[in-house]
Amino acid sequence: MKEFYCHYVGYNKRLDDWIPGSWVILSKDLEWPKPKAPPAPPSKKETAAQKTKVGARKTTKKTKSTPSTRGSATPVPISTPQKRMASTVEPDESQGMEPFETLDLQETQDTTFGDLDAFGEDEDAEGENEPLEGESLMDIDVDGSTYLPDPQKAPPVQSKEQEIEKLRTSGSMTQNVHEIARVKNLNKLQIGKHLVEAWYFSPYPAEFAHLPILYICELCLSYFPSPVMFGRHRKKCKMLHPPGNEIYRHEDISFFEIDGKKQLQWCRNLSLLSKCFLDHKTLHYDVQPFMFYIMCLRDSSGCHTVGYFSKEKESAEGYNLACILTLPQHQRHGFGRLLIEFSYELSKREGKTGSPEKPLSDLGLISYRAFWAEKIMEYLLEHEPTDVSLDEIAHKTSITQADIHYT
């Protein structure tokens, strides 16, 4: 059966989906919504009626005013902007279509779309998922090609610096044409007892693409196309925790430090899995320059991966974090904040200030904004405002001066 890849214009790509061909009407030409006509100028009668109303208001104002202020009373014009209404399109009974509403584009441009917070932080941050400039022109991707409503209006080309700044402040939807053309190739992932829907494209082998469910071992992160193969593997898999050194433990939470050079296969499996939920990162199989810090929840059956962050062994820019992710089934429990704080605790032990690698994802930016603001406020509440400098805050919190200034 033919399927179509559907992208919702103005929304994050994590909502993209494959839809059956039976849902798409191909017997008719595509009709784009027509712009609303400008409001007609008021007629002479309406103008006269408005003047009469204003005159009545002036009379009332003067009547109610005291003798001392009667001469200086100035009427305040009352503006009554016309409220734009959503128009309802009549259903096409011959095609079995349901009625739907079309919204004025001018109204929806400034709307902040609610979004899941991947790291359990501020849910109401403004503008995190707004489309980038030119992104709203993208319509639908079929067979790897990108269609534009108007070929004459191609998205403007941005420099790397402009793109990073736009991503930093407006979300994670990529400007890279090749990334836009990469359609989501996985449906659902079975990770332990959790069934998770993939958000973005991940370069798993072609034979694993478009399966109803891809089965992933929660401990070694190997992937299998069928429950039979997965069950066979689980009987043989003896791994009980990530293959690294446990460097932190508190109650049922543990952190493991893994060298990408020593555990190539495990770290590559982790990168493939995390790419399903990150669209702003490009996956490279060269994991050797990175250290991986895995956060796990311990129980009687072993240590189950909750999230992780990676860090370059030698970063010329002073980044203390390259990539961060909390798996969707463990989001909104504050684990992301713990990952961020752990990265800064490592920087404190090294005696340096650190900053996450840019660009940040939309959800990552929400969490970092909340973390930076909280740490800076904690410091300010403990000191007199006149005695505080950016240098001192950076020294005590290990947050770079640029991030403190930005916050």
Closest CA to 220 of 185, 200, 254, 192: 192
Q: What does DSSP assign to residue 130?
A: P
Cα–Cα dist 358/157, whole Å: 19
254 phi/psi in degrees, rounded to 5: -130, 150
- pLDDT tens digits for range 84-138: 333 333 434 433 334 333 333 333 333 333 333 333 333 333 333 333 333 333 3
Of all residues in the chain, the percent with pLDDT exceeding 90 is 41
Q: Which residues, other chains included, contact 230 with Cβ-Cβ below 8 Å and sequence gap of 6+?
A: 190, 215, 217, 224
- pLDDT tens digits for range 219-260: 999 999 999 999 999 999 999 999 999 999 999 999 999 999
* pLDDT at residue 163, rounded to an integer: 54
Q: Which two tokens stand for residue 261?
A: 């050079």
Helices and strands in the chain, H and E counts: 10, 17
* pLDDT at residue 161, rounded to an integer: 63
Q: How many CB atoms lie within 10 A of CB 249?
A: 11
pLDDT band at 286 (very low <50, low <70, confident <90, very high): confident
Q: What does DSSP assign to residue 155?
A: P
Closest CA to 294 of 284, 303, 281: 303
* pLDDT at residue 119, rounded to an integer: 35
- pLDDT tens digits for range 366-376: 889 999 999 99
Q: Which two tokens stand for residue 169?
A: 């402040």
Cα–Cα dist 250/268, whole Å: 28
Identify the weakest region by mean pLDDT among 66-80, 260-274, 306-320: 66-80
* pLDDT at residue 309, rounded to an integer: 95
Q: Which residues, other chains included, contact 214 with Cβ-Cβ below 8 Å and sequence gap of 6+?
A: 186, 187, 188, 189, 190, 204, 208, 223, 224, 225
On average, the pLDDT of the chain sits at 75
pLDDT over 50 (residue 80): no
297 phi/psi in degrees, rounded to 5: -105, 130
pLDDT (average), residues 65-78: 43
Identify the weakest region by mean pLDDT among 36-40, 296-300, 309-313: 36-40
Strands 355-356 and 319-321: parallel
Q: Which two tokens stand for residue 92?
A: 């096409």
Q: Which two tokens stand for residue 294?
A: 């895995």
- pLDDT tens digits for range 391-400: 999 999 999 9
Query: How far lies 155's CA from each of 177, 264, 307, 360, 406, in Å?
Result: 10, 39, 35, 22, 28
pLDDT over 90 (residue 76): no
pLDDT band at 363 (very low <50, low <70, confident <90, very high): confident
Cα–Cα dist 120/407, whole Å: 19
382 in catalytic set: no
pLDDT (average), residues 339-361: 91
- The pTM of the full predicted model, rounded to 2 decimals, is 0.63
Closest CA to 144 of 187, 186, 178: 178
Q: CA dihedral defined by 258, 262, 264, 270, rounded to 10 degrees?
A: -10
Of 357, 374, 382, 392, catalytic: 357
Q: Which helix (H) or strand (E) holds 264?
A: helix 264-275
